Amino acid sequence: MKNLELTWLGHSTFLLDTPGGKRVLIDPWVMGNPACPDAYKSLDKLDLMLITHGHFDHIGDAVELARRTEAQVVAIFETYLWLAGKGVKTGMGMNKGGKVPVQGIQVRMVDARHSCGIQDGDQVIYGGEACGFVLTLEDGLKVYHAGDTALFGDMQLIGERYAPDIALLPIGDLYTMDPSDAARAVELIGARRVVPMHHSTFEGLPGKPADFVAAVGGKAEVTVLQPGQTQAFAPAVAAAR
């Protein structure tokens, strides 16, 4: 198997080319995402799409991309129902605490502390709750995408129970953790490799990667990606953790 290739498309949107040859998109905000490079705005092959919550900057292009790619879409129950009502025919709703194999990848839905209303025209629809995901890829590598979240103590439990190798954490402040809280999250989760997200996309997100790197202070390896940049990750070595 090849190594995971993780590409940041800006904000909380990540494209994973998995060791088993699948393409996974987390938080499909691509066409409308000002940070997403043009080369990725015409994605036409996706196997799986994961949605952490119903805010536009996470779900914005879900319906269009599901139609175009027929990817399996996984979201929390109420958000999936909304997507189904918009014509999404592939995928499933689930809820926190559960796990399910999809396309050969184990998808576990975990807690996040955030809201989840879906803006639909001039209405706000109840979308369930915001979540995170811990994915176990085909080579055993475990990737935690925290979604939008505040710092919360049960991140320690996520670390203890699911032992993610890589954590993708929001650092932008205002809507999520700031760099200092995100660095505390790194300690709670115990992940050795972390990638900051939900920063620098638009005005009003003061948390920056340099502050996060400084706050982590060498306790984990921080990979700061630019939008469109890809990083490969080798399979986890169990003894190293």
Closer to Mn ion by CB, 65 or 137: give it.
65
Q: Which of 27, 47, 57, 181 binds Mn ion (CB under 5 A)?
A: 57
Whole-number Å distance between alpha carbons of 72 and 56: 19
CA distances from 224 to 5, 83, 156, 168 (A): 15, 32, 23, 11
Instruction: Please tell me whether residue 38 adopts helix, strand or coil conformation.
Output: helix
Closer to Mn ion by CB, 22 or 114: give it.
114
Closer to Ni ion by CB, 11 or 108: give it.
11
In the complex, the smallest distance separating the C-beta of residue 112 from Ni ion, rounded to whole angstroms, is 9
Pick the piece of the chain touching Mn ion (CB under 5 A) from 13-21, 118-126, 140-148, 205-213. 140-148
In the complex, the smallest distance separating the C-beta of residue 114 from Mn ion, rounded to whole angstroms, is 8
Q: Are 220 and 193 in contact (CB under 8 A)?
A: yes
In the complex, the smallest distance separating the C-beta of residue 119 from Mn ion, rounded to whole angstroms, is 12
In the complex, the smallest distance separating the C-beta of residue 198 from Mn ion, rounded to whole angstroms, is 6
Whole-number Å distance between alpha carbons of 219 and 191: 9
Q: List the one residue out of 174, 104, 105, 103 whose CA is nearest residue 133.
A: 105
In the complex, the smallest distance separating the C-beta of residue 117 from Ni ion, rounded to whole angstroms, is 9
Closer to Mn ion by CB, 56 or 241: give it.
56
Closer to Ni ion by CB, 15 or 131: give it.
131
Q: Which of 27, 47, 129, 148 binds Ni ion (CB under 5 A)?
A: 148
Alpha helices in the chain (DSSP H): 56-59, 62-69, 77-85, 155-162, 179-189, 209-216
Closer to Mn ion by CB, 95 or 115: give it.
115
Pairing of strands 91-94, 118-120: unpaired
Pick the piece of the chain touching Ni ion (CB under 5 A) from 75-83, 133-141, 145-153, 155-163. 145-153
Whole-number Å distance between alpha carbons of 118 and 121: 10
Told to check if 148 binds Mn ion by CB under 5 A, we report: yes
In the complex, the smallest distance separating the C-beta of residue 114 from Ni ion, rounded to whole angstroms, is 6
Told to check if 27 binds Ni ion by CB under 5 A, we report: no
Classify residue 78 as left (phi > 0), alpha (psi -120 to 50) or beta.
alpha
Q: Which of 22, 55, 108, 208 binds Ni ion (CB under 5 A)?
A: 55
C-alpha Rg value of the chain to the nearest Å: 16
Q: List the one residue out of 200, 192, 143, 142 whose CA is nearest residue 171.
A: 200
- Count of residues binding Ni ion (CB under 5 A)? 2
- In the complex, the residues that contact Mn ion under the rule CB under 5 A are 57, 148
- In the complex, the residues that contact Ni ion under the rule CB under 5 A are 55, 148
